């Protein structure tokens, strides 16, 4: 097969990550603003980050959660891609059958 088990996912990530981040961020920020979560997190994390010998944590909760959500999205896509690449039964559409038949 052409490329790594997640080659298409890596390509997709490179092409869509910034755009998806820009779409996710305001939705998450709005949700946190409704309950005051961002301010609580920021206060807590600034104190934590001042403790010696600890690894700093991102004090921007919205940025952190947005990044983690996108990691999750791309992880699921990579799992599906690997299935399609390695299992004939996962190639359920004519397009998938055509594209991956070239690589078998």
Residue 1 lies in a domain: no
pTM above 0.95, yes or no: no
The answer as to whether 57 is a domain residue is yes
Let me know if 51 is exposed, middle or buried by CB neighbors in 10 A (0-12, 13-18, 19+).
Answer: exposed
Residue 66 C-beta-side C-alpha neighbours within 13 Å: 23
Could you tell me if 84 and 8 are in contact, meaning their C-beta atoms sit under 8 angstroms apart?
no
What is the model's pLDDT at position 21?
A: 98
Total domains in the chain come to 1
Residue 87: give the domain boundaries: 7-101
How far is Cα 36 from Cα 34, in angstroms, rounded to an integer?
Answer: 6
Q: Is residue 2 part of a domain?
A: no
SS3 content of the chain, % helix, strand, coil (to 5): 75, 0, 25
Please list the ranges in the chain whose pLDDT falls under 50.
1, 104
pLDDT of 99: 73
Tell me, yes or no, whether 50 lies in a domain.
yes
Spatial separation of the C-alpha atoms in residues 67 and 103, rounded to whole Å? 33
Mean pLDDT over the full length of the chain: 90
């Amino acid at each position: 097969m052409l490329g790594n088990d997640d080659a298409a996912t890596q390509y997709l990530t490179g092409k869509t990550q910034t755009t998806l981040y820009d779409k996710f961020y305001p939705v998450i920020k709005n949700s946190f603003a409704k309950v005051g979560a961002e301010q609580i997190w920021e206060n807590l994390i600034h104190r934590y980050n001042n403790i010696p010998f600890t690894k700093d944590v991102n004090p921007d909760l919205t940025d952190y959660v947005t990044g983690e959500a996108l990691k999750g999205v791309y992880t699921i896509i990579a799992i599906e891609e690997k299935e399609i690449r390695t299992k004939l039964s996962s190639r359920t559409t004519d397009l998938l059958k055509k594209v991956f038949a070239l690589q078998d």
